[in-house]
Structure 1
Amino acid sequence: MDHQRAHHYSDHASHHSGHASDHASHHSGHHSGNASDHASDTSVADILDLDAEVLGPYLEELTGWARSHTKAAPHTIVDVGAGTGTGTLALARRFEAAEVIAIDQSPTMLERLRAAAAAHGIAGRLRAVQADLDAGWPPVGTADLAWASSSLHHVADPDRVLADVRAALNPGGLLVVVEMDAMPRFLPEDVHPGLEERCRAAGARNGWNAWPDWTGHLERAGFTVAEQRVFDIDVRPAPPAANRYAHRVMSGMRNRLAEQLSADDVAALDRLLDPDDTEFVLRRRDLVVRGARTAWAAHRA
């Protein structure tokens, strides 16, 4: 999961729980390098790692789909806004002979990515590059496959970045863009019916995770869109990490959306977040994880 600056994804973060990575991811924007930025990066990194642990299996389907659109086995892959490396690792597993270049603005993210790569035995195929994409494309050479998961909508000028990606791709190269459709949902349908949908709607009104249909942008940048596809995610039974993930997301909704929710919805969130309540989300055994990602596969024209 991958995305760029994440101050708005704060310690209570909810509106960017993704990849990601999906990886989900990110940090290509401006960075002052102070202690609060480091704390924010660490918090976001924690959430990205949770997202990877809970939703990682869908990445096998996603990278398999990407492979079906490659015209030849890629020798070099660039992960644009790699975050903690969820997508980077998935790409390295799928394309076992490829070098993977992970670009991210945050040293914290890249430290975690390097550690994860070492733990998974792919450190020899990883090149981590710290770069602010708003300042320009880094000198990473050419690639056969580019991957931008939950990162493109965070850069200041996505059309310029898309042009940079196209210039970096070899002829016939593939770009995969992935976006998270909305915050994941965790509660069974009969538990506080509609609560999560109302929270998602409030987050959408605040512009959380807003992104455009990238088709026109891709075509203007000189890409030919081969396919746009929605990947539905439904993880049941939920893995143990889903409880911690749900707690982070619900805490974010409670802290950031309380004034926009009804008193009943706030009370429901309070119960789910209260360690002394029977509904406490960290103790629930009935969670399911539902969500969706939209992906575009586009070739350099």
Structure 2
Amino acid sequence: MTKHEPLPSHASSGHSHHGAPDHGHSHHGHSGRNHEGHGHEHANDAELAQMLDLDAHILGSYLAEATAWAAELAVTTPAAIIDVGAGSGVGSLALARRFPTAHVTALDMSAQMLGKTLELAAVNGLDGRITGIQANLNEGWPASATADLIWASSSLHELSDPERTMADMFTHLSPGGLLMVVEMDSLPSFLPESATEGDVVESGLESRLHAALASNGWNQYPEWTAGLERAGFVVERRHFPTTGSTTQELAARYGRIFLSKIGGALAESSSAVDLAALDVLLGDGPGSLERRGDLVVRGHRTAWAAHKPVS
């Protein structure tokens, strides 16, 4: 059977790589270090960056929708924005483009990821409009990090005390400011929803694998509304389903990176039939991801818009 690597927490959760403590693992799905209660290993920074870039390239349309929602909700046009867990910088770039008069601060604990963010900014003509702060948010919020809009995509759940950080965010937001929290609310899917005749992969394979991962506590996060309200915010939420527009080659590359991570986490909770089907997808035979030609990448996000009252 194909050797499966351990599953990284939130291996493609959007774009984030934030300031949770370093236990020798690099993040996850945009974004950080391992967080309390998950205990899964993380990809190294180079692998993480590749996953985040593919996720953003294929499923990044949610960023346009979510940042548009933020612009619609903002009481005033934000002059200062903080991207918490900026990861490879895709979110920072989207924010800078959505708010062309704003200065964006990418906040991350990884110097390597901050470097990638600043490189991305320079390549896209945004050098100077995006800057970085290296910080571990489990040790406290940087005193200089104040903003009119704070963006936290796939990063809040990674912190050891999210509610403390919510309170810090509330304190460091301008009156009338906005905090946007985004989470991947389901794992990415790649296979057709219905199998065709003769397909070695039976219908519902990914749903069963995702359910097995969920039973192990993976990709779970709280419903953030109550915690945000306790911090003082007024909250509303919205769901952003996304079907990626991409080539089969990129879909297969993203699928291989993601699916190659899940075998180790599923060894004790999935059937031998499903694990064998996973091996076929990750092999190099006619049933492999690269040879199927019918991949459709799907992903879903939920966003919480948390308003700080003017007074």
- Same topology, TM > 0.5: yes
- Of 195, 205, 208, the match for 1:198: 208
- Of 60, 66, 70, the match for 2:74: 70
Q: Give the deviation of 1:278 after TM superposition.
A: 0.6
- Opposite residue 107 of structure 2, the aligned amino acid is I
CA RMSD of aligned residues (A): 2.2
- Gapped regions of structure 1 (runs ≥ 5): 1-9
Which residue of structure 1 lines up, in the alignment, with residue 127 of structure 2? 123
- Opposite residue 160 of structure 1, the aligned amino acid is R
Q: Does 1:272 align with 2:281?
A: yes
Cα pair 1:14 1:249 within 8 Å, conserved: no
Which residue of structure 2 lines up, in the alignment, with residue 90 of structure 1? 94
Once residues 198 and 43 of structure 1 are traced to their aligned partners in structure 2, the CA distance between those partners, rounded to angstroms, is 26
Cα pair 2:166 2:228 within 8 Å, conserved: yes
Which residue of structure 1 lines up, in the alignment, with residue 178 of structure 2? 174
Once residues 279 and 43 of structure 2 are traced to their aligned partners in structure 1, the CA distance between those partners, rounded to angstroms, is 26
Q: Give the deviation of 1:180 after TM superposition.
A: 0.5
Q: Give the deviation of 1:86 after TM superposition.
A: 1.6
Cα pair 1:224 1:298 within 8 Å, conserved: yes
Residues 81-122 of structure 1: CA deviation (Å, up to 9, x unaligned): 111112111111111111000100011211111111111111
Query: What is the DSSP-based 3-state SS (H/G/I as helix, E as strand, rest coil) of the residue aligned with 1:74?
Result: coil
Which residue of structure 2 lines up, in the alignment, with residue 216 of structure 1? 226
Q: Give the deviation of 1:252 after TM superposition.
A: 1.2
Q: TM-score under structure 1 normalisation?
A: 0.89
Once residues 75 and 184 of structure 1 are traced to their aligned partners in structure 2, the CA distance between those partners, rounded to angstroms, is 34
Residues 111-138 of structure 1: CA deviation (Å, up to 9, x unaligned): 1111111111112101111000000101
Query: What is the DSSP-based 3-state SS (H/G/I as helix, E as strand, rest coil) of the residue aligned with 2:234?
Result: strand
Once residues 25 and 222 of structure 2 are traced to their aligned partners in structure 1, the CA distance between those partners, rounded to angstroms, is 32
Q: 1:144 to 1:239 in 2, by over 3 A?
A: farther
Query: What is the DSSP-based 3-state SS (H/G/I as helix, E as strand, rest coil) of the residue aligned with 2:177?
Result: strand
- Gapped regions of structure 2 (runs ≥ 5): 28-32, 34-41, 196-201
Which residue of structure 2 lines up, in the alignment, with residue 231 of structure 1? 240
Q: Give the deviation of 1:41 after TM superposition.
A: 2.2
Which residue of structure 1 lines up, in the alignment, with residue 21 of structure 2? 30
Q: TM-score under structure 2 normalisation?
A: 0.86
Q: Does 1:162 align with 2:171?
A: no
- Opposite residue 217 of structure 1, the aligned amino acid is G
Q: Does 1:152 align with 2:169?
A: no
Once residues 243 and 29 of structure 1 are traced to their aligned partners in structure 2, the CA distance between those partners, rounded to angstroms, is 31
- Of 108, 132, 142, the match for 2:146: 142
Query: What is the DSSP-based 3-state SS (H/G/I as helix, E as strand, rest coil) of the residue aligned with 1:146?
Result: strand
Q: Does 1:43 align with 2:47?
A: yes
Q: 1:197 to 1:57 in 2, by over 3 A?
A: same
